[in-house]
Amino acid sequence: MNEFELIARLTKALAANQTVVTGAGDDCAVLDFGLPDKLFLFKTDAVVEGVHFEKDTPPEKIGRKALARCLSDIAAMAGTPAAAVVTIGLPEDFKPETVETIYDGLNALAKKHGVAVVGGETTSNPERIFISVALLGTVRRGKQALRSGAKAGDAIFVTGELGGSSAGRHLDFEPRLAEARWLTEHFPVHAMIDLSDGLAGDLGHLLKASGVGAELLKTAVPLSRAAKENARKNPFGKMPLVAALSEGEDFELLFTVAAGDAVKLLDAWKKHFPKLKLSCIGKSVAGKGITLRDKSGAQKLNTHGYVHFA
């Protein structure tokens, strides 16, 4: 049983109440506490030694990544982060100085984005460090971006470049908070998700939630220099396109808008975010699954993103 099969099994009968607008199954839960202009976003995520970082990873980067992952999910909903609580599990031989430096990295990113760190929990954990962050945020009522709104014929966009995140970018990525809020303020975004598990996997989640399929143009997928360098150094490793589709931890935004808005969006984006690439990589279509197209024709995509327990 892989991660998503387990999630589906566990979320069949979760408890709910009248505050829940959107529950399990999107990047964040959306909650309504009766404020006239705001909804609340709620998210938790974890990083584990040996999975998300290594024993020799600089401690400040571990703390930064622990919070940044949650911030990226708030971005995927076009929200603004507000407050976090942090749970950290430590082995018996932990060094207090290392833990303090982890928190230095977390706090620095929190201050940058106006997040208050308001508490948490410390506990013992055999052999390795884990950190779990729960993050509360807000979003303007009616402006929350969900995974479930894509329509056949939409243009599919992605920010930045993909693949090769293991070369270091998975520790230093910038959550696209300002960009996501700008998007939803200026264009009707039909659906959005952040790329944590790879383009193939996360696009698949968005398509499944929306009930559509997708056709991608191979040459339009923006490949990072790291993905190309990895392929050049290791010809038996992943090709750049496969890395972009499957490696994960890019933490870019993937979203859809009506095809008629695509050119206007690209022009406006270049003016507001000249240093961040925006690429139209294909379109959503009626049906299921993802098709890759190039000069030689089209083929069904069999590659999937990163999946725990697979």
Residues 14-23 have pLDDT tens digits of: 899 999 999 9
Rounded Cα distance between 133 and 69, Å, is 9
Element (H, E) at 80: strand 80-90
Q: Looking at residue 276, what is its pLDDT?
A: 98
The stretch 304-309 carries a mean pLDDT of 64
275: helix, strand or coil? coil
Fold annotation for 155-300: Phosphoribosyl-aminoimidazole Synthetase; Chain A, domain 2 (3.90.650)
Q: What is the rounded CA–CA span in Å between residue 42 and residue 141?
A: 15
Q: Locate the domains of the chain by residue range.
A: 15-140, 155-300
* Residue 117 reports pLDDT greater than 80: yes
Q: What is the pLDDT of residue 306?
A: 64
Phi, psi of 225 (to 5 degrees): -60, -35
CATH fold of 15-140 reads 60s Ribosomal Protein L30; Chain: A; (3.30.1330)
**How far is residue 125 CA from its own chain's centroid?**
27
Of residues 161 and 229, the one with the higher pLDDT is: 161
3-state secondary structure 96-142: HHHHHHHHHHHHHHHHHCCCEEEEEEEEECCCCCEEEEEEEEEEECC
pLDDT single digits (tens) 164-191: 998 899 999 999 999 999 999 999 999 9
Work out the mean pLDDT of the chain and round it to a whole number. Answer: 94
Q: What does pTM read for this prediction? A: 0.94
The yes-or-no verdict on residue 310 having pLDDT over 60 is no
In this prediction, residues 286-297 reach a mean pLDDT of: 93
Higher-confidence residue of 217 and 12: namely: 217
Cβ neighbors of 124 (< 8 A, separation 6 or more) are 89, 90, 91, 92
Expressed in angstroms, the distance from the first to the final Cα of the chain is 7
Residue 303 pLDDT grade (very low, low, confident, very high; cuts 50, 70, 90): low
Q: In a 3-state reduction of DSSP, which class is residue 59?
A: helix
